[in-house]
Structures are given as C-alpha cells and as structure tokens.
Amino acid sequence: MNAPPTFESFLLFEGENKITIEKDTKVPNAALFTVNKEDHTLGNMITTQLLKDPQVVFAGYKNPHPLEHKFVVRIQTTSDYNPKDAMTNAITDLISEVSLLEERFKEAVKEKQEGE
Amino acid sequence: MLNKRPKPGDTEEDLLKFQQEFLSGQITPSASLVKKPGDKRKSSQPGQHESVGLTGSGRDVVQLQGLPSKAPTMSPIPPVKKSRFKASREGKSRHSVSTQDMEDPEHTIDSHDTSTAAILSDIIERDTRSAGIYFPSSSAHGFPTVLHRGFLGTRTSSSREKNTKSIFAQQMENSSPAEFGVIVHDGQSVGTTIHSGRNRAGNLLEHKQDGSHILQGAGVSKKEVERIHYENLSQMASMSEEDILSEQKKLLETLDPKLVAFLKSKKAAKLDEVSDEQSQLEVEKQVTVETSADLVSKKEVAMETSVDLKAAGDTFKPEVTNEDLPLEVDKDWVHMDVVESDKLAWMKDLPPPRADNSQTEQPARFDFLGNVLPGDSDLPVTLGLHHHGDEPERAGYTLEELFQLSRSSNVQQRCLALQTLAKIIIKAKEGCFVHLLQSAILPIVLDAGLMFLLRWSLDDSVEAVNTAALAVSHAVLVNTADEAALDQVFDWPGGVALVAQCPRVTVQEAQEQSGERKEEQVEDVDADVLKKDLIQGLVSRMTILPRLRHYLTVLRPQAPPVLHILAILTRIARHSQTTAYQLMNCPSLIETIVKEFLPTSWTASDVTQPVSCLYGYPVPAAVRLLRTIAQAGRNMAAILVSRHSVLSQLMVYLSLNTCDINLARGEAVSLQMEAYRFWRVCLLYGIGTQQYLDLYPTLMERLTKAQGQRLSDDTLNDLNLTTALINVLQAVVVVAGSEINHLSRSSAEGCADEDSHQPADLLPLSWSHVAGLLLPVRALWEKQKTQIVENFQNKKQSLTLATSLIDFLKTFYCLSEKQIGADTVELLEELEQLSSALINMWRSLGFQAILSYLSHHSNILTEHTQTCGESSDNLPELTSGLVSGQGHPLPILQPHSPVPFITSVLSLTHTLLSVVIGEAYLTSYLRKIVSRTQISPLNSNFFTKFENLLQYYIIKLSCLMTHVETRVHHEAGLCLLTRLQYGDEHLVHDLMSCVIYNTAFVRESQEEELTREGLERMTLSSETTHLRSATQEEVPGYTVAAIEGCCYPPVQYQSKLPYSIWSHDPGSSHLQVHMWYNFDENYLKSSGDIVCDHSTSSPALVHLVSNCLAWIYLLECWRPSHLAQVPVTLRVTRVMCVFLAGNDLFLDRRIHGYLAALLREYTKPKHLDKLDFEADIPGLTCFYDLYINVLQQYQAVSFGDSLFGCYVLVPLQQRHNFSLRKAVWGEYNNILRTLFIPVKELLVPLSYYLEPEERNVELIRLYTQCLFSQTVRPVWAPVMYLIAVHHVNRFMYTQDGRHAALKHLIIKQLLSCPNEDLKKHLLYYKSADADAPHGMTLYEELSAMRQKLITSVRDSKE
C-alpha cells in the first residue's frame, strides 16, 4: 500500500548526485563519501578494496538505515595521500579487476564452446 | 490283529470297503464313548452328604417377606462351614472311607473338585416361562437401617423359646422387612438364606485363676489379650450382681445347650482342647460378659491404627517375618499353613520414625496447631496425627493431605483441615518456618489453588466449614502485624497517606488500559487473574463481596467470623482505590455494617464478659473499615458521611466519656480512637467541620481535662486518646486555615457561585473557631516538654502525644502567619518563646537521649539482613512486623521510636529557624548511613518512608547554612535519592534542585578531591606525553568554573527527566541506584536515533552527553562508594552505549576526554575482576548483541580511534566468554585491519589477554587462519597479532596429546609459509614483553624437544 516504488532503490532522484564528498573535521586526512542508490554490494566491495591499500589508515562503510538506499564510506589516509585519491584508485582497481574477470569468463566460455 | 487303516492314496471306493469291513468285523474301536456318571454328589461320600444335611438343618434360616422367591445361586449348595470340632471328630471316623476312595481315582478327583464337576455337569437353562417378572422394588431407604446387637435383649423377650438362634438371626426375626427398605408384595413368600458369620476361629485356651479366665485367642497378641482381660475385669467390677446374672442368662439362652454342656464338661476335665468361639463365650460367661462382638470391635480398632503400615509396605518393603506380626499363626487355621507375611504386614506396629530422615529432605508435616513436626518426633498414634498413607510412621499431615482433607465429604474433617491450614498460614506469615522449611509456604498454597478451595468452602452449607474457611481467608489476606503497624503510624507525621497495596502488575495494566482504552483484550481466566493479583481476582472474579454480605445479613455468625470478615474487607479496601470503590458500591454491604455494627443505642451487657454476638453493638473494627475506605478517596468519604451518616453516629460515641459507653473499657477506648481517626480523615478532606462546631464544648473540656491528667505510659489509653484528639484538632486547623484562603479567593473573584456547591447548612470554619485551641495545646505541650527534658533519659515514655502536639503547633503557626487579621507582633513573640524553649529542649539531656536512639531505631541501619515473614507476589504486604522471626517489629516501629518525634521537631524548626545543623548525633547518624556498604533489604520497605522524611528534613536544613559536614550531607542526599519511594516525587525534585547539583555542596569536595586528582593526572600525562594515543590523552583540567558548567545544565533537564524515568516503572516503589545510567542510556538511545540522520551530532546532544559523562565521572571518582552498588558491568555497558549513540559523538574532544577517563577508571584491576558479561544486565537482552553492534559501529565509523579500540578490547580478555572473541576473529575480522593499539598503550594488563592459554580449538583455527592469511599484521593491529601468535605458539607446543592432527597441520602450513617474519615469530616465540619489538621476546634457538617436533613434521612432509 504505502510501499515505496521499487525503482527508488536504484534510480537517482532529480538532481541527486551519485556520490558526494564531505571532509571530516575531527580527524585529519579523512573524508566521508556518501554513495546514493547503492547498498552493501558495492559498499562492501569498495571498503574491502580500500583496506588493501597500505596507505589507507581506515576505511569503513555504513548503511544508515535499511530503507535509505545509500551508504557512507569513511576513509582516512596517511598524510602524503588523500581520501579522494584512495577512493579513485580503489574504484579503478575494482573496475580493472572486474573487467579482467569478465574477460577471463568470456574466454573460458569460448574455450568451452569450441571444445564442443 | 491290526486293522487296516485308510491311506492318502485310497479312493472313495476303498474307503467304503474299509467301512464295510469294519462294521462287519465287529472290531472294537480304539476309543469308545462312555456316558459320564450323573450327579457326583449323590453317589459320593454319604458321610459328607449327611453332614451337609446335618449342618444345614442346624443353620438358622432367615426369611424375609417380599423378596423374590428364589435368589439365583451360583452353586447349588452353598459352601458350608462346619464346626471345626465336629469336623475333626468326623475326620477320625472317615478315615476308613478314605482308603476305599483311593481305589477309585476318578471318584477321588471328583470328591475333591466338586465345583468343576458341578460346572461340567448338566447345564440347564432356567425355565423362565413360568417365572414372574417383577418391577424393581422401590425401597424407602437407600440402605437397611443399622441394627445394634446391644438392643437384642428388649426384642427377644417375646420369643424366648426360640432363643437358640444366633443373635443376628434373632435380630432379623424381630425386625420388619420395612426396616431394610423392602416393600412387601402380597402373595409372594420370599426366602433367603443368610449365614451368620460365625467363622471366626478362636483357638482358645483357658486358664483357671480365681474363677476368672484369660482367654488366649490365637489372633490376638498376648498383650492385647491381657488388656482385654483387664478391661473385662473392670467392666465386671462395675456391674451389679443382677446385671451379671441377667447377661449370663441372656448368653445361655442364645447358645446351644449341648455346646454349653460340652464346654462345662471340658472345663471340668481341664482339657486344653480346641474350642469354638461359641465355647469361648460359654466359658467366659461364668465370669466375663465380654461378648465376642466387643472383641471384634477391639480388633478393629487395632486394625485402624495400623492401617498405615500396609501402605508403608509398598514404600520401604520391610522383610515381614513371623516374629514381627502381632499374632501367632496357629497351624490349625484354615488357609494359614503358608503364612503370607506381606499380607499380614499391616497388623504390625508402626516402626519408630527414622531419625536419619531429619537431615534429608522430606515433606513437612504439621500438627493441628500448625507447627512443623520434626521428622523424628515420636508421638503416640492416639493423637490422630497418623491417619495418612505416605510415611505412616511420621506424625502430622502434609499440605497436600490437608488440601485433600478439606475436600472430604466429612464435615469434621473439612473443618479440621481448614483450621489447621489457617494456623499454618498464620505461622508462615510470622516467619516461624524460615529455618525449618526450604521454600515459603504461602506461594505454594496459593499456587495450589487455595483460593478456589476457599470459595468452595465458603459456599458450603455447613456453618462450621464457612467459619473455618473465613479463618483461612483471613489468615491469607490479612497481615495482622501490618495492620497494627499502620495503626501505629497513623498518628505519625505523614502517616495518614495510604499506599495502595496492590501488585505491580495491576498498576502497569491499569496504566496500559488508560492508555489504549481496553482494546479487545483477551479475557484472562480466573486462575490467571488470581495469580497476578489475588485481591482483584477475589473481588472481580469470585464475587467475594456479595458472599461476605450474605454472611453478615443472612447467616449472622458469631463474633470471630464477623471480625474476620471486617478485617478481610479492610484489606480489600487497602488494595486500591478501585476495589475500595467496588466495596463501597456493593449493594447493602455498607448499609448492613452501619446498621448492625454502628448502632446509636445498644443494651448494656455484662462488660466483663467477652461478647459472643456482635450484632447490635458498636464494633471498632467496623469503624476501622470505614476509615480505610475513607482514606482511599474523598468521594468515598463524602458518600459515607452523607449517605450513611456515619459521622453523626460516631459523634454519639465521641460525645460520651469512655466510662459511659456501655462497653468493656478497652473496646470503648478503641472505638473512640477509631472514631477520632475517621473524623480526622474526613476533616483532611474538608468534611465534617460542622461536627467540630457541635462538639466544640466537649472537645475543649477534654483538652482541659488532659492537662490535669498525669499522662504517662501507665495511662496509655488516655494518652492515645489525647493524641488522636490533638490530631483531629490539627486537621481542623488545617481546614480552618485553608478555608480562609478559599473564601478570600472567591471573594476576590467576586463570584458567589463558588459557595453554591457547598452544602448550605455547612458553616464555613473560620480561623476564630480554632484560635482558642492554641492555649490549651501549648499548656499540654509545656507539660510534655518538661517531662521529656527532665525525665526521658531515665524513664522512656511514649512520644506519640509530644509528636502530635508539635505537629499541631507547626501547623498552627504555619497557617496563622497567613491569616488576615493575625497580630504579627504577638505571633513573633510567641515564636520567639517557642524557639527558645525548643533550643532549651534541644540541649537537655532528655532530648539528647532521644537523638542518640536515632541510629538504633533506623530501618536502614538495621543489622537484620532478611525479612522472614512470607509473602506472595500477588498479595503484596508491607512486611512490617517480622524482621528476625521472633516477632520483633521493625526497628522504626519499636516502642519509643524517636523517628516521628524528631521529624516533627525538625519540621517545626524548619518552619521556625534553622538551628541545629552540625549536631553530633545527627551527623553521626548520617555518617553511618553514608558509610554503609551493604544495602539493607528494608530500603524499599514502606515504613522506611518515615525515615526518609526525617533525612530529607535534616538535609534540607543543612542547605540553609554553610558548615563543615557538607560532604556527608551531600552523600546522604545521594543515598536518599535512590531510596525514595513512589509518592515522594516532590522530594526528589526538591533534592535535585537544592542539594544534589548545588555547587555549594560540590565546591567543597572539588577543592580537596579534584585538585589532588588534577595533580595525579598531570603527572600521568607528563609521563606519557610522548605517546600519541588518545587513551593517554589528558583529561580536561578541572577548574571550579568547569564543574559549575557541567553541574548546572543537568539541573535543567534532570528536573524533567526523572519523571520520565519514573513513568517507566512506577510500580517499583523506589528509585534504583543506577538511575543515572538509565537516564544516560535512555536519553542517548532515543536521541541517537535522531542523530543518525545527521552526519554530525547536534551541539545540544554533545553538550548533554558530555554533561552526563562529566557527572558520571564525578560520581565515579568522587563518590565511588555510592556507585559501588551498581555493578561495574552495567556501568561499562552503559558507557559503551555512548559510542552507539552517534557516528562522531565520541570524537568530540570533551566527550573523548571523559570517555578516556572513565576507561582508565574501569580498567583498574578491582573493576576488571568484577566485570562479568554473562550476568544479567538491566536494559539489555544479552551483552553479545550489544557487542556485535559495537563491533559494527567500530568497523563503520571509528576512524581507527584507539579509545574506541580500547573499549572494544575490554571484553576480549581470556576470562570472558569465547563467543565474543570468536565474533572478532571470525565474522568481524575486518576490524583487525584498523584496530591499531600499540602493545604499550594497552590499559588492561597484557596478561589478561594471554592467560590462561586458549583451549578452544575453534578459536585456535581462527587465529591460525588470520595469521596465515595476513588478516592480522603487526603493523595494523600489534596487540591482536601478539595475542594470536601467543596462543597459536602455545597450542602448537603443548604436549597434551590432544588435537595432534591439528597441531601437525599448523606446523606443516607454517613451514611452508612464505612470510619469514611470521614463521620466526610463531616458531621462536618465548613470551610477551611490551618493550621488545612486536611486543614479544623470541628464543635464540629452539629447545631440543621442539626442534625434534619440527623436524619430525618436516620429515613427514617429504
């Protein structure tokens, strides 16, 4: 009845940004990234990827409320680096990793089909 | 010759041929049919047949008219009993016959087995064609009337000639069939044979001794025989000669003359021979008239007493041997050749109660007075305490048995059981059984459905049962000690207010209902309601009120039940306002009580005798009931006064002098007391002022008379009456004072309608009406004061009068200031006089003595640590009287309790002047209160309320001036705050705003404590400045201004917060100590939800939280003893909640500082050892859930904050549950990436994490996994790395022979591990050392053993 339309979980509202950055005032070299219309799937991936970065001091994400389709990533880096770069690098790495996965998967499928 | 026999291959023709051959050949068959002989009886022993005829003819045949003509008989001839004597004679003569019988076995069998033969013989269906069909005869009585053998003589006189018949037969002959309920049908002769049961074989030996004979029956023990003999002798002696002769004659007539002759001859021959029971009687009749019937009844008595033994045989299977039996088995007894001992076991005497049982558990048994009988008490069976099946040797009855008995069909048993139950419950409530029984009795009996039983018994038609049931109800519902205590307290300051004595559940439900207006609630069953709230169940479900009214109006019982009913009604009225109202509205209940028990005139009776019927006499208990109802609410009081005109009745009693009331003196005094009290309650509602004006002359006369009286303990009645009078006058003064206010207000508004709602005839009471009271009261006070000042140290006296006098004065002066026409100058003069008098009194020895008793009479300081009286949750009581089990009242209620007096004095002084702070006794009293570490169980007791009031005044007074002891007062204030009860909320508010957050109090301690602390911290921080971690962060330096800053704001929201806390549990009549924490958490949790939306916390919240934390920290380091009552676990968990409250709340510098300081506080070893996360934490379902939340929060938002990390680490110590560690190392091992806490900065000693060594294999696996997968690294989480290495290393090298495969696997993996550092650490780990790199020292070289182990694993790999 009063259930929100299902597209709300993945379609950005009018004028809504996919990602916003906010600097944390209390901790040095730290920032909050709010990613809209995403959930644990991406949050967990990004955070895990960030934590692999030795220059990242802290990375964590939180879904403020299960009905709010967004998550907040908190990143703190060493002083010679900044959270934004860390985020960008993490995302780039993730993309290349995923495309590698895709490529290999396709190869494997092709091999399999040729094998037949 | 062999016959040919048919074979399987033969055809039909062959078979026919065979048959022909057989028939023609006349071959004798192998088996032949013979006709069975006919009736064996006829052909068998003629001797027996004869004897049957002989005995048969000798039997008495009883015929009753009107019975069916032929009774269906199973065997054609009834089993015949012969005289044993005769049989033995026959046996001799038959000897020759039996030899003949031997030759015919079939015959022999048949003769022995007549029954089978009879059955196997012809079975002829009964010819029913000619049989008449009768309607079932209706009988007049259900059973035949009982005939007594003793009446024989009168009946037999007519048929003397036939008197050789048995007694029974004679009796039958004499009685008409109608007596047996048989209706005679005409023309039907009915005959039935009834055999007299003379089968008792008495093997009697006779002894000749002075003409009397002791008969030894073989069924009876020797002792029993002797006893019977002596009884016979005594009975003989009591009879006259004629009686004896007539009895003898009677006996002779009934007996066979041949038998008599035989016995006589036998006696002459002095033969010890077997004789019949008849012969016993025969012999006996020479000297004894004991009939066999008596003997039989004797035996039956013995049987009854030993019945229990039979049941006992089931339980402990005694080896019954012949020696145990009370009888010797004679070999001549029929069917006794094999003695079946177990069947005779019931005849044995009871074994002595086993003493060893008294040590072990066994069901309690009670005697009829309600005492517990110890397991080894050996009581005679004649007390009637042994009539039960279980444990037959133990006297008394269990509760279960009493319950059973109370449902017996026997009225006496029901009464007895109920009375016993009542006594048991009374004793249980008094706490007599505390040391005797394991569990409380009252809850057990209530659970067992006592109330249903009572309802059932209350409806019984027998009045005795009703009375007993009322007694039980009274015992259950009414706590007499409570009632007495409430009466005592009534005259104390603040004692009129009544607390609703209903269970917590009811209060909560009432609140819920008012909230949601009864939304289709599922109706509870009666039992559930009773379980929740006994009295509500009784009133609403069991309709006890109409039942009780029925007793009062219809049955009109004797005095005790009436008093019980009144007491029960009083308790019901105490339960709550609702029930009191229901009681009020029960049709004609109050009317009856007023009519019957508050008459205006009554006949003078003998006042010395106790009254047996209370109807038509004034009953104090009834006035008490009405007073209790009036106390429940103004409306009810008004109804009582207007509709039932109770007050005018009472005025009749009050206008008379006690000696003029036609009652016993004690009754008259208590009647007047109750009348005064009822009036006082009404007056406090503003009702009944008219009566004051009417009765004014009498009251004044009483006052002046009281001055002349010597009021001391000797004339306690007068003293109490005067006290009650003064209290009434005080109430009058209150009304008069407030009436003026009311009038002035209404006149100011210029509205005349205000008065219209008041009855027109009610004259408004004005101040002038009461002004005259002051002088006599003051005179009375002077007199009391002199007595106290001069004498109290030597001779204690009752302080009740002095208390109420002071209260009166206080009220009077308090109100007189506000009066319009008051002469202020004169008033001031009077006040000055009074205060100087007070100060004089204060310095007197007498008053000092009173003050010195204060500690002794304190409820809070009492040494008794437990209350012994039993009570049940669904029937709350005030548990007044019974602290020590010996019936000592509570300390505060003990005679000469100074509490009310000092309270009054203090409140008077408070209204006049503040004089007395710094008083040594008061201070030492407070000191004791503050320094008490153990929580008294009486803290929540209702009567402690009065002590709280006293302390409140002391503390309030101390606010008025600065002095040296502020610390004690402040602490006492804190203590008091936690102890205050439901209904004292205004005190809490006052205390909070005036005392708790008063900087005057805070500043004092600040200066000495906090400067010292500040210094400590300075040194600490200077030592650790080189460390960057927040744990060593400097706690914000305290300045006076800072404290003020953190103390003032709480006042603002605390003033509204405590009420919200109260609304959470108003049922609990006192505040919990951890209020601070509750409030902290409640507030944080609720605000935390809001905060989550915002990325940053609102400044207001930060402010609030930091203030709370500051306050907690202040308490923590400044009043540690006060917080000791709150478990450390609770405190730690509440502080952890702060992290959950906001995403960056803990990053705020101030909050961070306090959290760090608190952490340091909590990680002191004394606190660490007390931490127990398994324990029940109020407000949390389990700690694990909270911890998981904390871990998630840490993962998401912590920024690797090391303070947060330290809190996360606290529950990971080895002594706590391993599931917490598993959560960190398993599911949430991402944490290990950011949990950067250097080993050196760990606040908890490292050994707490390392010892004892981990034994849990699952955890070891997780450790290994994390180590090998590089999840935990020394760079990221040094402490965790150390912990993992330590435990895995220790596990690897443990030589306990278990988990060998796992160890092998770990070493194998380790050897192939590419990470050389980890390999080295794990293999060469020696011990933890915070100063070494990675926090661990390593072996230079492995010991031979370990080396061998490693090589063996390596070799096995290859």
Higher-pLDDT residue of B725 and B890 is: B725
**Once rounded to an integer, what is the mean pLDDT over residues B1071-1093?**
40
pLDDT tens-digit map of B287-333: 443 444 444 444 443 344 333 434 444 444 444 455 556 666 676 77
Which of B1147, B1148, B1196 is closest, CB to CB, to A60?
B1196
Distance (Å, whole) CA B364 – CA B390: 12
| A59 pLDDT more than 60 | yes
For residues A116 and A98, the answer to whether their CB atoms sit within 8 Å is no
Contacts of A51 in chain B (CB under 8 A): 1230, 1233-1234
pLDDT tens-digit map of B825-838: 777 777 777 777 77
Which residue of chain B comes nearest to A57, CA vs CA? B1234
pLDDT tens-digit map of B1020-1049: 333 333 333 333 333 333 333 333 333 333
What is the least distance, in Å, from the CA of B1075 to any CA of chain A? 30
The residue whose two tokens read 């409806």 is B459
pLDDT tens-digit map of B178-237: 655 554 444 443 333 333 333 333 333 334 334 455 555 555 667 777 788 888 888 888
Q: Count CB-CB contacts under 10 A for residue B636.
A: 23
Which residue of chain B comes nearest to A27, CA vs CA? B1199
Q: Flag whether residue B1200 sits within 8 Å of chain A, measured between CB atoms.
A: yes
For residues B216 and B222, the answer to whether their CB atoms sit within 8 Å is yes
**B1310 backbone dihedrals φ, ψ, rounded to 5°:** -65, -40
What is the least distance, in Å, from the CA of B1197 to any CA of chain A? 6
DSSP state of A32: E
Q: CB–CB of B1198 and A62 under 8 A? A: no
Q: CB–CB of B1196 and A58 under 8 A? A: no
> Residues 378-397, chain B: which have Cβ within 8 Å of A?
none
Report for A83-92, B89-98, B855-864, B1000-1009: range of highest mean pLDDT: A83-92
Which of the residue ranges B583-597, B638-652, B1147-1161 would you say has the lowest mean pLDDT?
B1147-1161
In this prediction the pTM is 0.56
pLDDT of A84 reads: 92
pLDDT of B1072 reads: 34
Distance (Å, whole) CA B1042 – CA B1003: 11
Higher-pLDDT residue of B71 and A116 is: A116
Contact residues, chain A to chain B, C-beta under 8 Å: 22, 24-27, 30, 32, 47-48, 51, 57-62, 64-65, 72, 74, 76
The residue whose two tokens read 């003026």 is B740
Which of A22, A57, A58 is closest, CB to CB, to B1095?
A22
Which of B1095, B1144, B1197 is closest, CB to CB, to A60?
B1197
Residue type, B630: A
pLDDT of B1357 reads: 56
Higher-pLDDT residue of B886 and B1134 is: B1134
Q: Flag whether residue B1270 sits within 8 Å of chain A, measured between CB atoms.
A: no
Higher-pLDDT residue of B260 and B755 is: B260
Distance (Å, whole) CA B582 – CA B1242: 66
Q: Count CB-CB contacts under 10 A for residue B104.
A: 12
**Once rounded to an integer, what is the mean pLDDT over residues B462-487?**
84
ipTM comes to 0.92
Q: CB–CB of B1230 and A51 under 8 A? A: yes
**pLDDT > 70: percent of chain B:** 58
pLDDT of B1029 reads: 34
Higher-pLDDT residue of B399 and B797 is: B399
pLDDT of B776 reads: 81
Question: Who's near A67: CB < 8 A, 6+ residues apart?
Answer: A4
What is the least distance, in Å, from the CA of B1147 to any CA of chain A? 7
| A111 pLDDT more than 70 | yes
Contacts of A60 in chain B (CB under 8 A): 1195-1198, 1234
Q: Which of A84, A103, A27 is nearest to B1201 (CA)?
A: A27
Higher-pLDDT residue of B69 and B619 is: B619
pLDDT of B875 reads: 67
Distance (Å, whole) CA B1092 – CA B1098: 10
pLDDT of B1040 reads: 34
Q: How does B1110-1146 read in b/e, with b if 16+ C-beta sit within 10 Å?
A: bbbbbbbbbbeebbeebbbbbbbbbbbbbbbbbbbbb
Higher-pLDDT residue of B763 and B566 is: B566
CA atoms within 13 A of residue A67's CA, in its CB half-sphere: 4
Q: Count CB-CB contacts under 10 A for residue B334.
A: 9
Q: Which of B526, B538, B599, B528 is nearest to B568 (CA)?
A: B538
| B840 pLDDT more than 60 | yes
Helix (H, G, I), strand (E, B) or coil at B647: helix
DSSP B1060-1123: HHHHH-SSSSB--TTHHHHHHHHHHHHHHHHHHHSSS--HHHHHHHHHHHHHHHHHHHHSHHHH
A55-60, long-range: CB < 8 A, 24+ apart: A55/A80, A55/A81, A55/A86, A56/A81, A56/A86, A57/A29, A57/B1199, A57/B1200, A57/B1234, A57/B1236, A58/A30, A58/B1198, A58/B1199, A58/B1200, A58/B1234, A59/A86, A59/B1234, A60/B1195, A60/B1196, A60/B1197, A60/B1198, A60/B1234
pLDDT tens-digit map of B546-593: 888 888 888 888 888 888 898 888 888 888 888 888 888 888 888 888
- How many Cβ contacts (< 8 angstroms) between chains A and B? 44
pLDDT tens-digit map of B1182-1238: 889 889 988 988 988 888 888 888 889 989 998 888 899 999 998 888 888 888 888
Q: Are strands B212-216 and A56-62 parallel, antiparallel or unpaired?
A: unpaired
Q: Could you tell me the pLDDT band of residue A47, with boundaries at 50, 70 and 90?
A: very high
Residues in chain A: 116
Higher-pLDDT residue of B106 and B1323 is: B1323
Question: Who's near B1188: CB < 8 A, 6+ residues apart?
Answer: B1223, B1228
Q: Give the gyration radius of chain B's Cα atoms.
A: 48
Q: Count CB-CB contacts under 10 A for residue B178.
A: 14
Mean pLDDT over all residues of chain B? Answer: 69
| B245 pLDDT more than 60 | yes
Distance (Å, whole) CA B1280 – CA B1232: 7
pLDDT tens-digit map of B410-457: 888 888 888 888 888 888 877 777 777 777 777 788 888 888 888 888
Q: Could you tell me the pLDDT band of residue B36, with boundaries at 50, 70 and 90?
A: low
Q: Could you tell me the pLDDT band of residue A99, with boundaries at 50, 70 and 90?
A: very high
Which residue of chain B comes nearest to A51, CA vs CA? B1233
The residue whose two tokens read 């500051």 is B1110
Q: Count CB-CB contacts under 10 A for residue B471.
A: 21
Distance (Å, whole) CA B1240 – CA B1027: 9
Which residue of chain B comes nearest to A49, CA vs CA? B1230
Distance (Å, whole) CA B112 – CA B94: 15
Distance (Å, whole) CA B85 – CA B279: 11
| B405 pLDDT more than 50 | yes
pLDDT tens-digit map of B974-997: 777 667 666 666 776 677 666 666
DSSP state of B205: E
* A interface test, pick of B1140, B1194, B1199 with most A CB neighbours within 10 Å: B1199
The residue whose two tokens read 């029929």 is B334
pLDDT of B109 reads: 57
Peptide bond into B1252 cis (omega under 30): yes
pLDDT of B1203 reads: 86
**pLDDT > 90: percent of chain B:** 2
Residue type, B1099: P
pLDDT of B831 reads: 74
Q: Which of B1317, B1316, B1259 is nearest to B1291 (CA)?
A: B1259
Which residue of chain B comes nearest to A22, CA vs CA? B1095
* B interface test, pick of A48, A57, A68, A77 with most B CB neighbours within 10 Å: A57
Q: CB–CB of A24 and B1144 under 8 A? A: yes
Q: Flag whether residue B872 sits within 8 Å of chain A, measured between CB atoms.
A: no
pLDDT tens-digit map of B665-697: 778 888 888 888 888 888 888 888 788 888 888
What is the least distance, in Å, from the CA of B1087 to any CA of chain A? 15
Which of the residue ranges B82-96, B105-119, B488-502, B1064-1078 would you say has the lowest mean pLDDT?
B1064-1078
For residues B398 and B364, the answer to whether their CB atoms sit within 8 Å is yes
Q: Which two tokens stand for residue B457?
A: 């018994």
For residues A44 and A53, the answer to whether their CB atoms sit within 8 Å is no
Contacts of A57 in chain B (CB under 8 A): 1199-1200, 1234, 1236
Distance (Å, whole) CA B269 – CA A56: 130
Q: What is the 3-state secondary structure (H, E, C) of B745-766?
A: HHHHHCCCHHHHCCCCCCCCCC
Q: Count CB-CB contacts under 10 A for residue B812.
A: 23
